Amino acid sequence: MNPTGQPVQLKPNYKILSVLAAVGLVLFLLLQVFPSTASDTLEVQQVNIISQEKAIESARAFASDTLVLPDLPAPSVTYHTNAELSGYVAKEKLTQTYMKKLEKVAPYDVFRVHYPDVGTGDALDIDVHMNTGKVVAFSMYDNQTGASQPFSLDPTATTEKDESVTLAEKQEQAQPILKALGFDAGQLTLQTKGNEQDLLYTAADGKLGDSQLQLKFTYEYGQIRSFQPVLTPPDTYTAYVKEQTALAGWLTALGYGLFTLVLGVLAIVFGALKRRHTSFKRGIVLSVIYCAISIFSVVNMWPILVDITLGESNKIVSYVIIGLQLILNILMAVLLYFSFVGGDGLWRERGINIWPRSKEIGYGKYVLHSVAVGYLYALILLGVQSIIYLILENALGVYSATDDTSSPYNMIYPALFPLLAWMAGIGEEAVYRLFGIGMLKKLLRNTFVACFITTMIWALGHTLYPIYPIYSRPIELLFIGLLFSFIFLRYGFIAAVFAHVIFDSILMSLSLISMGGIVNILLGAFYIVLPAIVAIIIYTFTKNKGVENAYPPYVPPAPIPQVYYDPTQGQQQYPDHPQQFQQYSNPVPPSEHDNKPKE
């Protein structure tokens, strides 16, 4: 770490870091990217995803030819997933069986084409397979209910409405749909009896673990309202997921939310207390960048938050929820700003320049070295994360489920998804490293304990991800967070931010690249190199690129001259300067001075 008042410099051992980064990259590619060696949990399926335009074409053809709805409004398309089914398949190691037998007819990942009004006051959802482009399910419902999933009506009410429809008539209505979706009615077994509301079929080869595929039709007023291939995990698994999700909610609210709020309040306090060691101009630009990206991220998820997830009738409620989220993001940006001010003041009070200013000597080259360190450590972290995943999967049975709440497919501008890496890198490194470690180190006087506590708070904020058991996520991030803390303490705040941003950018860019298309591939590559571009721009427009070309010119302080005592002259003299330096008022030999007690 650089002391305050001196030119800033960074001298990493690039040989060792390059070797470790190469090893980390190889491990990441083998364990997380290449499907031939990836585990079920980490597997990245190398399949072709159809475009949303293709999904609309398939849905429109099905609605016109099979449902006889030729005149349809402009639809919206979102990505939906059955997280419970995907998690069950991963947990029970049924991926290969599922992919071979049932994935084509009962996929847990679909494009949902949503028509808000088909002309009868009803909304229509048509689910399209993301790889084959074939329709796999549909649901028609009152567009004022807000329901976007196929649902069963009240049995008594529906029976009264459908009492004139016999079982044979229901089967007759279902035949064209089964044929259009590729099912052979002769290979299906009817499960419905008498006046039961729904029409259910099972397939002989539809067994998956403890689950059985059912083809379910619902009826209303004598007409088919929905068709859905249902593959429901057993109740024991569903209960387990609910229990884990509830625990994750408590850990996030208390372990992360509460203590992060405490850190924010303390940041305001220490920002005021340490103001003479820092400046209230510190962190304004970074806080604004953080706030802008966080607000944009909420707006970017608008389609699924309003039109699909919360429904037409609940738009007012959804607007209120989104408004509260935007206000929360702004408040977080304010607390982040004080984390910058308070954290900088805490470190500078100790004489440590852990976050140099742009006007300081050597700043430009310091930033270039920081981004280089960031890239190398990002690759190292990816390798470490891959090993941790592999160990946890084998030791604790860790697995993951799919999640559509933050998918780039559900964004207005999915190409901007990797910008979230900058929000995470800037915000988390400032709150939990720059301020958090600095504050706890001052209070506890133990660097490791300070790093451990702040890392655990940060890790608990990631427990809502669909990775089970949920305590595996904090275990993984404990190691990752301690490595981020090491980067911060060893190389400074800027290097830690770059490492975090690059680490997240690589993972998010791979998600963007997996969407397919030359534009997404090029944008993914651009986001990976963006931190280097930012560092080069800073270097280019920074006058203080190094000591040799500092602005204003750097003049090293004059060396403190060595003084010796000349007994013949009774005075102190410079060795290189014979002229008299200082005349003692009562010259005596040095030994007599040495014998006096020191103050």
Q: Cβ atoms within 10 A of the Cβ of 396, count?
A: 13
Are 106 and 202 contained in the same domain? yes
Mean predicted lDDT score pLDDT of the chain: 86
Handedness of CA 416, 477, 428, 534 (dihedral sign): negative
Contact 130, 107 (CB under 8 A): yes
**41 pLDDT more than 50:** no
Per-residue pLDDT, averaged over 188-202, amounts to 86
Tell me: do 334 and 440 sit in the same domain.
yes
User: Does residue 12 have a pLDDT over 90?
Assistant: yes
Nearest to 270 by CA among 346, 357, 356: 346
- Amino acid letter for position 591: S
Judge whether residue 172 has pLDDT over 50: yes
| Choice between 48 and 338, residue whose per-residue pLDDT is larger | 338
Q: Give the pLDDT mean for 411-423.
A: 94
Say how many C-beta atoms besides its own lie within 10 A of residue 530's C-beta.
18
Identify whether the C-beta of residue 59 lies closer than 8 Å to the C-beta of residue 128. yes
How far apart CA 553 and CA 549 sit, in angstroms, is 7
Residue 32 has pLDDT above 80, yes or no: yes
pLDDT of residue 311: 52
Q: Are residues 305 and 322 in the same domain?
A: yes
Better pLDDT: 237 or 551:
237
475 and 348: one domain? yes
Helix (H, G, I), strand (E, B) or coil at 587: coil
Same domain, 33 and 60: no
Section 358-362 average pLDDT: 90
Band (pLDDT 50/70/90 cuts) for residue 312 is low
pLDDT at 152 over 60: no
Tell me the pLDDT tens digit for each residue of 211-229. Answer: 999 999 998 888 899 999 9
Q: Is residue 595 part of a domain?
A: no
User: How many residues are given for the chain?
Assistant: 599
Q: pLDDT category, 198, cuts 50, 70, 90? A: confident
What domain count does the chain have? 2
Residues 275 and 333 in one domain: yes
Which residues in 483-519 are b (16+ Cβ under 10 Å) and which e? bbbebbbebbbbbbbbbbbbbbbbbbbebbbbbeeee
Is residue 93 included in any domain, yes or no?
yes
Residue 344 within any structural domain of the chain = yes
Asked whether the bond before 116 is cis by omega within 30 degrees of 0, the reply is no
Q: Does residue 367 belong to any structural domain of this protein? A: yes
- Same domain? 225 vs 278: no
**Does one domain contain both 185 and 89?**
yes
pLDDT digits (tens, 9 = 90+) for 418-440: 999 999 999 999 999 999 999 99
What is the mean predicted confidence (pLDDT) over 464-469?
Answer: 93
Look at residues 233, 265, 283 and tell me which one is the last residue of a structural domain: 233
582 domain-assigned: no
Q: Is residue 562 part of a domain?
A: no
168 shares its domain with 282:
no
What is the per-residue pLDDT across 578-589, written as a single tens digit (0 to 9) for each? Answer: 444 444 444 444
- pLDDT above 80: residue 99: yes
Q: What range defines the domain where residue 366 resides?
A: 2-38+238-544
Distance (Å, rounded) from C-alpha 87 to C-alpha 230? 15
Q: Is residue 82 part of a domain?
A: yes
Residue 298 has pLDDT above 80, yes or no: yes
Of 544, 568, 589, the residue that ends a domain is 544
Q: Indicate whether 10 and 125 sit together in one domain.
A: no
Q: Same domain for 374 and 455? A: yes
Q: Would you say residue 511 has pLDDT above 80? A: yes
Q: Is residue 69 domain-shared with residue 190, that is, in the same domain?
A: yes
Point out the least confidently predicted range of 196-205, 333-342, 392-401: 196-205
List phi, psi (to 5°) of 463. -80, -15
Q: From CA 157, how far away is CA 585, in angstroms rounded?
A: 112
Domain boundary among the residues 233, 251, 283 is at: 233
Residue 108 lies in a domain: yes
